């Protein structure tokens, strides 16, 4: 069906036709109504969230696999499946993705996993979190719609990713964060030279403020990557699903453990897996998606455990600040996916987050930010509870770099000893071989 209706929630900077590659239209996740591609995010009929609908490539799976494998070692190898123009790789952007899928045998042993355990380590992205993937899509949409300022409401990582992408693309950026974030997040958001505004409040206050700004002349001409460009932005998380399957030799994993803040990433990983099945790029088989939250901000796991379809907002209080969204936009869709695939949503407390960060570092040499502590901690908890099957192939996401959240482990990660530079002193410290 062709695009029919232009939604009234448009904050359009241009009305000329746009080239976003295979993206054909926006479609409402609630009522299915389709809209022309534009900087809109809510259905004019029912206010449901919009997502990108595609004309996916035709041809045999073998041809498409070959085409992808011949592409660049970044997310643009999947350009035929993303809302971006065909020449996207030639434009100035951060070229994120194609991060390591680490076979975590030492961690597997510690957790009693007899199948294969992998860490998808997205700390290796240009600004050290998975957010570079989503921002790269929003940047193309911003260019297509003629925006000159890139903006966002952020729990920290997104602000840095937007600042860096705007710097590379030669756009202005102005990003908004809760005022009390970790030093590593603040510095990484400010260093790229854009405007950084701390809001006195939590993420949900920041998000509300940005929604107001977008409807005001003050926000005219601004592309908010996770508000008016959200349908495009969100598609970037599909690349995690594509990469995981390609790195597993074009196979679906049996189980995935994914962190949840707004829930966007988890829902788009599922969308990406479904597309790979539809295109015949992987063999269809059941997979389970498990969501991971911090106990101090667990609106989705609370709803999952209570058997509710509705997610009740919470006031966040956790060291996992990157996941501290008390009113997650995609919460109900996460519940659907966890239930449909036979997965679950679980949470861990701050102490378990710290223990899990140190467990991953000690066993695999990977230093995760608190969101990675949440996924590893939840994996451990679900194995111990017999919910996650230790005999299957499991992929756990680490979506950010531990250097951004040093405070979480600083107290318990210090020098073993401080000594004078002499062999006697070293001997006395009792650390010799
Ligand atoms: C490191 C990290 N992981 C995961 C997420 C979760 O993202 P989503 O809002 O798509 O659920 C975030 C969100 O800010 C994040 O910063
Ligand atoms: Zn609708």
* Residue 99 near ligand 1, beta carbon < 6 Å: no
Distance 62 CA to ligand 2 centre (A): 36
Condensed to tens digits (0 to 9), the pLDDT of residues 155-188 reads: 999 999 999 999 999 999 999 999 999 899 999 9
From the list 269, 248, 257, the residue with the least C-alpha distance to 394 is: 257
Atom 15 of ligand 1: nearest residue by CA position: 322
Residue 15: which residues within 8 A CB-CB, separation 6 or more? Answer: none
Ligand (nearest to CA of 238): 1
Choosing from 119, 157, 266 the residue with most ligand 1 atoms within 8 A of its CB, the one to mutate for a pocket test is: 157
Nearest partner of 83 among 31, 125, 145, judged by Cα: 145
* C-beta of 240 in contact with ligand 1 (< 6 A): no
129 lines ligand 1 (CB under 6 A): yes
Rounded to the nearest angstrom, the distance between the alpha carbon of 162 and the centre of ligand 2 is 29
Whose alpha carbon is nearest atom 14 of ligand 1? 322
Same fold across 100-128+236-410 and 131-233: yes
pLDDT at 11 over 50: no
The predicted structure's pLDDT at residue 15: 52
CATH class of 100-128+236-410: alpha beta
Q: Answer whether 369 contacts ligand 1 (Cβ < 6 A).
A: yes
Residues 66-117: pLDDT tens digits?
A: 999 999 999 999 999 999 999 999 999 999 999 999 999 999 999 999 999 9
- Class of CATH domain 131-233: alpha beta
Q: How confident is the model at residue 1 (pLDDT cuts 50, 70, 90)?
A: very low
Produce one character per residue of 191-223: b if its CB has 16 or more CB atoms within 10 Å, e if not: ebebebeebeebbbbbbeebeebbeeeebeebb
Q: Best substitution site from 238, 265, 325, 404 to test ligand 1's pocket, by max atoms within 8 Å of Cβ?
A: 265
**Each residue's pLDDT tens digit, 186-198:** 999 999 999 999 9
CA of 330 to the centre of ligand 2 (A): 15
Q: State residue 21's pLDDT score.
A: 95
User: For residue 4, is pLDDT > 80?
Assistant: no
The β-bridge relationship of strands 23-28 and 34-35 is antiparallel
More confident residue, 325 or 4: 325
Report the distance separating Cα 367 and Cα 126, nearest Å.
16
pLDDT single digits (tens) 365-423: 999 999 999 999 999 999 999 999 999 999 999 999 999 999 999 999 999 999 999 99
Beta strand 172-178 with 255-259: parallel, antiparallel or unpaired?
unpaired
The string of pLDDT tens digits covering residues 114-135 is 999 999 999 999 999 999 999 9
- The pocket of ion ligand 2, defined by CB under 5 A, consists of 28, 30-31, 33, 43, 45-46, 48
Q: Which helix (H) or strand (E) holds 183?
A: helix 183-190
- pLDDT over threshold 70, residue 321: yes
**Are 285 and 117 in contact, with CB atoms under 8 Å apart?**
no
Residue in the block written with tokens 């695009």: 3
The residue ranges of every structural domain in the chain are: 100-128+236-410, 131-233
Whole-angstrom Cα distance, residue 63 to residue 69?
10
Q: Is the pLDDT of residue 5 over 70?
A: no
> Is the beta carbon of 259 within 6 A of some atom in ligand 1?
yes
């Amino acid at each position: 069906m062709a695009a029919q209706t232009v939604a009234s929630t448009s904050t359009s900077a241009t009305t000329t036709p746009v080239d976003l590659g295979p993206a054909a239209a926006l479609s409402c996740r609630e009522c299915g109504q389709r809209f022309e591609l534009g900087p809109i995010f809510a259905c004019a009929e029912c206010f449901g969230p919009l997502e990108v609908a595609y004309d996916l490539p035709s041809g045999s799976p073998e041809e498409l696999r070959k085409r992808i494998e011949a592409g660049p070692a970044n997310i643009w190898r999947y350009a035929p499946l993303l809302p971006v123009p065909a020449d996207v790789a030639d434009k100035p952007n951060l070229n994120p993705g194609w991060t390591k899928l680490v076979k975590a045998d030492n961690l597997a042993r510690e957790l009693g996993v007899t199948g294969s355990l992998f860490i998808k380590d997205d700390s290796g992205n240009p600004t050290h979190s998975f957010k570079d993937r989503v921002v790269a899509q929003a940047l193309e949409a911003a260019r297509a719609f003629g925006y000159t300022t890139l903006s966002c409401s952020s729990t920290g990582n997104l602000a840095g990713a937007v600042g860096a992408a705007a710097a590379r693309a030669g756009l202005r950026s102005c990003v908004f964060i809760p005022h009390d974030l970790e030093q590593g997040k603040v510095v990484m958001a400010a260093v790229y030279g854009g405007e950084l505004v701390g809001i006195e409040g939590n993420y949900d206050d920041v998000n509300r403020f940005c929604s107001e700004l977008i409807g005001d002349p003050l926000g005219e001409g601004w592309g908010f990557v996770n508000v008016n460009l959200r349908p495009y932005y969100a598609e970037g998380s599909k690349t995690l699903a594509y990469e995981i399957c390609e790195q597993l030799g074009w196979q679906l994993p049996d189980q995935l453990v994914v962190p949840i803040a707004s829930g966007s990433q988890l829902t788009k990983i599922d969308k990406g897996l479904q597309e790979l099945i539809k295109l015949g790029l992987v063999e269809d088989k059941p997979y389970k998606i498990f969501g991971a939250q911090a106990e101090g901000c667990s609106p989705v796991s609370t709803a999952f455990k209570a058997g509710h379809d509705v997610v009740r907002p919470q006031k966040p209080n956790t060291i996992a600040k990157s996941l501290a969204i008390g009113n997650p936009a995609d919460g109900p869709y996460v519940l659907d996916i966890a239930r449909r695939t036979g997965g679950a949503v679980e949470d861990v407390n701050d102490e378990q987050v710290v223990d899990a960060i140190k467990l991953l570092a000690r066993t695999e040499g990977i230093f995760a930010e608190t969101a990675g502590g949440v996924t590893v901690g939840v994996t451990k908890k679900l194995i111990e509870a017999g919910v996650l099957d230790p005999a299957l192939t499991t992929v756990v996401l680490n979506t950010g770099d531990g250097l951004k959240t040093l405070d979480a482990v600083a107290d318990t990660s210090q020098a073993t000893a401080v000594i004078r530079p002499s062999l006697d002193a070293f001997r006395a410290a009792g650390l010799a071989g």
